[in-house]
Structure 1
Amino acid sequence: MAQLQLKKLRKQFAHNVIPVKDVSVNVDDGEFLTLLGPSGCGKSTLLRMIAGLDMPTEGLVILGDENLTNIPPGKRNIAMVFQSYALYPHMTVSENISTSLRLRKVDGAEIEKRVNDVSNRLGIAHLLDRKPGQLSGGQRQRVALARALVRDPDVFLLDEPLSNLDALLREQVRADLKQLFESQQKPVVYVTHDQTEAMTLSSKIAVLYDGYLQQLATPAEIYMKPANRFVAGFVGSPQMNLLTLDCEDGKAVLGDFRIELPDLKAPPRVITFGIRPEDVFLREESDADTVNGKVYLVEDLGKEKLLSVRIDGSDQTLRAIVPPDQTWESETVQLTLPRKQMHWFDVESGDRLNRE
C-alpha cells in the first residue's frame, strides 16, 4: 500500500513542444484519479511518465518512499491497460494473462491459481483457450484488464480503455470497472476525454488543458464549482451556458434585463456569466429572477427537451432543459435563473469569481 506522488512533472519534446507543464498530483491507496481533458492536453503523456515509457524533463514520480523517476518501466510494479488492448495474437487468453508472471518466473501452480482467480472475477474463464482474434471487443478488453490485475501491481494505469467499445458495452464495462477497482484498494490513474466516464468512475478528477492542471477535485465539486471557464464549459452535457456580458451599477446586462452581480472586491466592466441548462426552467409565479425570450429551437432528447431561447433585446442565447411533456403557449417564454446556480468568471483569466 503506497501513495503515488507526481511532483511538478514537465515534459518537453523537440521544437519546444511541451505537452505537460508542472503538474503535481497525489493519488492515495484506493483512490481512482481520472485525467480528463481534450485531445492534446497532455493526459496520455502524463500517464506514460508514470509508467516510465517517457522520461520527464523535470519533476519526480514517487511511489511510497521510492523515487521511480529514473527506474525503467520493467522494474516498476505498475500495470497498464492500453486503448488498443495490446494482446499477443498468437497466444491464448490464458497465455496473454500470464505473460508477466512467466517473465518473472513465478511458480507454475501459482500462475494457474492467479489466472483462474482473475478470469473468474471478470467472467472470462470459458475463454482461456481462445485466441484474441476469436473474441469480441468487450472480451478482449476484459482480457487486457485480467493481464493487469493478475500481477497484483502497486498502481493501475488505464489509457482510454473503453474508447473502442460500442455505447451499450461501454456502459456495462464501466460499471464492472467501478466495482473491480473499489475492491483493489490501490491507486488507479485513468485517462479519458469522456466526461461521463470521469464523473461515474472517479473519486478525484484532474482536468487538464494545454498541459496545465486546471482543477483537481471530486466529481461533485468539478461540476458544481468549476474553477474556471474552461472547466465549466468542458464538464457537463449539454454544455453550460456561458455569456460575456457588460456590467452597469453592480449588475450584468443581458439584453433588456439586469442580473445582480455577486459580492466582488472590484466590480468589473465585463464579466462571463454561466448557468447550466438543467438549472434554467420556465417561470413559475413565485419566481423573481427571470428573463424573456423567444424559443427558436427545440431538441427532443427523449427524457427531456432542450430549448434554445434568444433573449429579448440581445443576440444572446440561453439553453434550458424542460420535462418532455412541458408545453408553452407561444414562442415567447419567461425563464427563471436561480441565483444559487449562477457562475461568474473573469473575462481575461477565465478564473471563477464567486466562491460560495
Structure 2
Amino acid sequence: MSRLELKNLNKTFTPKVIPVKDISLAVEDGEVLSLLGPSGCGKSTILRMIAGLEQPTRGQVLIGDRDVTFKRPGDRNIAMVFQSYALYPHLNVRENLRAGLKLKKVPTDEIEKRITEVSGILGLDDLMQRKPGQLSGGQRQRVAVGRALVRRSDVFLLDEPLSNLDALLREHVRADLKQIFSVQKAPVVYVTHDQTEAMTLSTRVAVLNNGYLQQLDAPERIYDRPANQFVAGFVGSPQMNLLTLPCQGNYALLGDFKIRLPDLPTVPPQIVLGLRPEHLQLAETEAAATVKGGVFLVENLGMHNLVSIKVANAQSDPIILRTLLPPEHWSNRELAFTIPPNETHWFDVQSGDSLVRRS
C-alpha cells in the first residue's frame, strides 16, 4: 500500500477564482481522510487533482515514492467512486465488477478470486445476475464501491457517494462503508459536505473553507477543540451558539451574567463566545450566577427539543441562545441556565481564531 501526500497544492482558474490555496496534507495506509466543507470550498477540486482529472497550478501529488502530479489518471493506480453510480447499464453486477480488471488484462482466475472476496464483503452474492436497473440505490452504490475495491488500488477516492440516497438508506450504506474501510489498508480520501459522514467514517477530517485548510485533526478534536470560529460553527448539529459579547474587566457580559474570560495577553473590547447547545445546563436554583431568558421557539427533534431563548437584559441587539432539553422542561416560558466553564470556546472577533488552545 502507499502513502498519499499533497504538497502546497494550488489550483487557479482565473486571478479571482482560486478554489485550492496551498493545501498540504498526508494520508497514511489504512487511514480515512474526509475533506469536509460547504459547496465551493475546494474539496472536489482537490480530489480531481489527486485523480489526475485536473492539473494543479502549483504543488505536488505523491503516491508512495512516486510523483504523479502530471501523470494520466490511468497511470496512478487509483480507484474512484463518483456521486453518480456510473455503472454499465447493459451489464450485470458480476460483469460490472469484472470490466475494469479485464481492461487491465488481469488473469481470469485472479479476477474471479477478487470478485468473490469483494462480493462477500459487500453482500452482493445474491445480486450477481442483476443489472443496475434491477437494483436499489443502496445496492447500486455498493456495486460502485465494489468495482473500486476489486482493483486493489494504491489510493481510494470517494466523491460524495451517498448524496443521491435518501436519509434512511444513507445511514445503512454509511455503516457498510465503515466496515469496508476497516478491512482494507489503502489510503482513502472521502469528499463530503455532510458532517455526520465525515465524523463517523473518518480517521481524520480536513475542514476546508474558501480554498484554505481550516483544521486537520481527529473527528473528536474537530468537535471539541475547533481551531477557529468557522470550524466551530460548521461542525456540530445543532450548530454551536456563537455570541459576540462586550468585555468588562476580566469578564464577558451575557445579559446580567458575567462569564470569566480565559487568560489573555490583553482583554479585547469584544469577544466571541462559543457554546454548544447540549452543554448549557438548567439552573437548579434561581441563583444570581445564571443566564435567564424567555422561550420564543421550540423545535421537536424527537428525544430532545431544540429551544431558542432570548437572553434577558442583553446589552445590545437581542441575543439568542439555543439549547437541547428533554420534552418535559420546555413548557416553562422563562428558563435559567448555568454555563460550565470547561465547555466554553473563545474566538477573536476579527480573525475568528480560537483564543484558547486546549490540550
Runs of 5+ unmatched residues, structure 1: none
5 Å-filtered alignment, 1:301-316, equals 301-314=301-314, 315-316=318-319
1:185-233 alpha-carbon deviations (Å, 9 max, x no partner): 1111000000000111111000000000000000010000100000000
Q: Which deviates the most, 107-116 or 167-176?
A: 107-116
| Structure 1 residues 31 and 319, CA gap change in structure 2 (3 angstroms) | same
Give the drift of 1:182: 0.9
Conserved? CA contact 1:245–1:252, under 8 Å = yes
The answer to whether residue 251 in structure 2 is matched with residue 248 in structure 1 is no
Matches of 2:313 and 2:246, distance apart in 1? 14
Give the drift of 1:288: 7.8
The answer to whether residue 330 in structure 2 is matched with residue 320 in structure 1 is no
Matches of 1:186 and 1:286, distance apart in 2? 56
Give the drift of 1:245: 0.9
Runs of 5+ unmatched residues, structure 2: none
Matches of 2:289 and 2:301, distance apart in 1? 27
Matches of 1:103 and 1:289, distance apart in 2? 71
Letter in 2 for 1:318: L
Matches of 1:217 and 1:264, distance apart in 2? 25
Q: Match of 2:337?
A: 335
Give the drift of 1:289: 4.5
Matches of 2:239 and 2:37, distance apart in 1? 15
1:58-100 alpha-carbon deviations (Å, 9 max, x no partner): 0001111111111110011110000001111122221211121
Give the drift of 1:346: 0.5
1:169-191 alpha-carbon deviations (Å, 9 max, x no partner): 11111111111111101111000
Q: Secondary structure, in 3 states, of the residue corresponding to 2:271?
A: strand
The answer to whether residue 11 in structure 2 is matched with residue 11 in structure 1 is yes
Q: Secondary structure, in 3 states, of the residue corresponding to 1:271?
A: strand
Q: Which deviates the most, 11-20 or 234-243?
A: 11-20
| Structure 1 residues 288 and 182, CA gap change in structure 2 (3 angstroms) | farther
Q: Match of 1:52?
A: 52
The answer to whether residue 33 in structure 2 is matched with residue 30 in structure 1 is no
Matches of 2:168 and 2:333, distance apart in 1? 37
Letter in 2 for 1:52: G
Matches of 2:177 and 2:289, distance apart in 1? 43
5 Å-filtered alignment, 1:72-91, equals 72-91=72-91
| Structure 1 residues 35 and 309, CA gap change in structure 2 (3 angstroms) | same
Q: Secondary structure, in 3 states, of the residue corresponding to 2:70?
A: coil
The answer to whether residue 353 in structure 2 is matched with residue 351 in structure 1 is yes
In angstroms, what is the RMSD of aligned CA positions? 1.4
Letter in 2 for 1:62: L
Give the drift of 1:327: 5.3
Letter in 2 for 1:352: S
Conserved? CA contact 1:37–1:192, under 8 Å = yes
Give the drift of 1:257: 2.4
Conserved? CA contact 1:292–1:332, under 8 Å = yes
Q: Secondary structure, in 3 states, of the residue corresponding to 2:327?
A: coil
1:233-287 alpha-carbon deviations (Å, 9 max, x no partner): 0000000000111111121122222211111111111111110000012112498
Q: Which deviates the most, 244-253 or 19-28?
A: 244-253
Matches of 1:287 and 1:339, distance apart in 2? 16
TM-score (norm 1): 0.97
| Structure 1 residues 289 and 195, CA gap change in structure 2 (3 angstroms) | farther
Give the drift of 1:9: 0.5
Matches of 1:38 and 1:265, distance apart in 2? 34
Matches of 1:319 and 1:281, distance apart in 2? 12
Letter in 1 for 2:133: G
Q: Secondary structure, in 3 states, of the residue corresponding to 1:320?
A: strand
Matches of 2:169 and 2:95, distance apart in 1? 25
Letter in 1 for 2:351: S
1:282-325 alpha-carbon deviations (Å, 9 max, x no partner): 11249885211111112221101111111111210111111233
1:91-147 alpha-carbon deviations (Å, 9 max, x no partner): 222121112111111111221221122112211122222221121111110110010
Matches of 2:274 and 2:113, distance apart in 1? 55
| Structure 1 residues 208 and 287, CA gap change in structure 2 (3 angstroms) | farther
Conserved? CA contact 2:246–2:270, under 8 Å = yes
